[in-house]
């Protein structure tokens, strides 16, 4: 989340009396939140007004969850944030990059057990014990 988006969300939260739970954008609907059909209409209107190339609204959710997974969020936390009923749904967003795995290596020590090949490089494997 960018600092600008965070500040806008905080303003919205403060304007709502700092609720502990509830919807960010409540609506006068049976469910109490914006209905998908209303959201789709608002999305189409925003694209037209701002002359933005059309994109599927769900892409924003997918991008958010993917970046959250890339930032190191575990699958269980991601599942809770996303409202997934199964951890299996969240696993598709959590796939650490080779760089992320290699960056963790210096902070760990252990007994070398062997060598593995990772993207063409041979890397020593170890029983890992946090320093």
Task: Return the higher-pLDDT residue of 131 and 14.
Answer: 14
Using the structure block, give the residue that is written with the tokens 């469910």.
31
User: For 54-89, what is each residue's pLDDT tens digit?
Assistant: 988 888 888 888 888 888 788 888 888 888 888 888
Using a CB cutoff of 8 Å and minimum separation of 24, what contacts does 86-89 make? none
| Rounded Cα–Cα distance for residues 42 and 78 (Å) | 27
Q: Would you state the structure tokens that stand for residue 105, as one six-digit string? A: 């290596």
pLDDT-derived band of residue 49, with 50, 70 and 90 as boundaries? very high
101-111 per-position pLDDT tens digit: 676 666 555 54
Residue 82, burial from CB neighbour count under 10 angstroms (0-12, 13-18, 19+): middle
Over residues 10-28, mean pLDDT: 79
For 17, the 3-state DSSP assignment is coil
What is the C-alpha separation between 78 and 74, in angstroms, rounded?
6
Condensed to tens digits (0 to 9), the pLDDT of residues 82-126 reads 888 888 888 888 876 677 667 666 655 554 455 555 556 655 555
| Tokens of residue 121, six digits | 């490089």
């Amino acid at each position: 989340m960018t600092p600008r988006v965070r500040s806008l969300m905080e303003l919205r939260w403060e304007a709502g009396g700092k609720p502990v739970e509830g919807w960010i954008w409540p609506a006068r609907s049976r469910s109490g939140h914006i209905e998908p059909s209303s959201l789709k209409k608002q999305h189409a209107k925003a694209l037209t007004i701002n002359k933005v190339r059309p994109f599927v609204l769900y892409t924003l959710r997918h991008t958010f969850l993917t970046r959250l997974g890339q930032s190191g969020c575990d699958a269980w936390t991601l599942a809770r944030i996303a409202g997934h009923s199964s951890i299996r749904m969240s696993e598709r967003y959590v796939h650490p990059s080779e760089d992320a795995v290699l960056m963790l290596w210096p902070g760990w020590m252990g007994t070398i057990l062997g060598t593995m090949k990772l993207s063409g490089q041979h890397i020593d494997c170890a029983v890992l014990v946090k320093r």
